[in-house]
Amino acid sequence: MANTEPRLIEVGTLSVLTADSQAMLDTLVEQSGWNQTPQDWALFGRLGSIHVVRDEHARIVASGAVLPLGEHAAWISLILVAPQFRGRGLGRAVFEHCLKEVQAMKRTAMLDATPDGERLYSQYSFAPLWRLTRWHRAGAPGIQPDARPPMPIAPDTIAALDAQALGFARPAVLADLMQRGDTDVVRHAQAIAIVRAGRIARHIGPLLASDEQAAAALLSSIASTTAEPLFIDVPDERPLMREHLCAAGFTPQRGYARMAMGEAAPQGMTAFIHAIAGPEFG
């Protein structure tokens, strides 16, 4: 008689990010159409934790990551499942594993959810804080890069403004992004942004500014001097940013909801946030 018991989904934690596991995680990203790079996985392996499900051949077929931020928050992200294994509960199993780790640390679980993810996470008492949209601009080969040398910007400068905006500090995350050889840190008037390489496109964010006009001016400057494809994730309550995005050839790709579990979400000055660091980083 056939065994009709549902198969237990075993979620494990990577103790070491080996070359083989890195390659399998990169494949998951590619299959899912996301923008993460090997450097992003390395950041999670160093500053957080990576959780996976393997098939009978020990291949990674689902993933999730946890990144402690500040003293009280932790970010859950990179819930990815290989196409041929979707619909079997692997994504939910990895998410629950990540959530239990956050709860064991007694931190507030936070994440940026796609519409499908929002329906799942709401079942675990996550509630939306605000909404944002990913915008994409295709490559523009005719654009000439800015020939002027970038102004040196101390990591502490952007880290302090970032902590004020989010309500928690993440200097090690920002330092990792800023120290990459393909990252630009740019400033215009009262706005500052990190522009880093991704698998598909360069990613603008975080973009922080004291007012939306300064943020929109910096966005336009970046777009006008960047030939590569661009991604940027912008809060929906930014009409001037939206106007400048459309003028620069960006189109909306997908929506997100910034969500937190419970009522202890850190409170920051979100008016300073004109683009986030990415849904994987908060």
Work out the widest C-alpha separation in the chain, in whole angstroms: 74
- Cβ atoms of residues 113 and 259 within 8 Å: yes
> Same domain for 152 and 204?
yes
pLDDT at position 3: 42
Q: How far is Cα 10 from Cα 2, in angstroms, rounded to an integer?
A: 21
> Same domain for 102 and 139?
no
Domain containing residue 223: CATH number: 3.40.630.90
Judge whether 111 lies within some domain: no
Token digits of residue 227: 């030939």
> Same domain for 101 and 138?
no
Q: Which domain, by its residues, includes 218?
A: 134-251+261-275
Q: How far is Cα 52 from Cα 61, in angstroms, rounded to an integer?
A: 7
Task: Please provide the average confidence, as pLDDT, over all residues in the chain.
Answer: 94
- Residue with the bigger pLDDT between 152 and 166: it is 166
- End-of-domain residue from the set 86, 106, 126: 106
> Same domain for 20 and 139?
no
> Same domain for 151 and 266?
yes
Judge whether 188 lies within some domain: yes
Tell me the three state secondary structure of residue 80: strand
Q: How far is Cα 73 from Cα 261, in angstroms, rounded to an integer?
A: 10
> Same domain for 98 and 203?
no
Query: What is the Cα gyration radius of the chain?
Result: 19
Per the structure, how many domains does the chain have? 2
For the stretch 68-78, pLDDT in tens is 999 999 999 99
Judge whether 239 lies within some domain: yes
For the stretch 199-250, pLDDT in tens is 999 999 999 999 999 999 999 999 999 999 999 999 999 999 999 999 999 9
pTM of the model: 0.94
pLDDT at position 17: 95
Of 238, 243, 236, nearest to 257 by C-alpha is: 236
Tell me the three state secondary structure of residue 186: strand
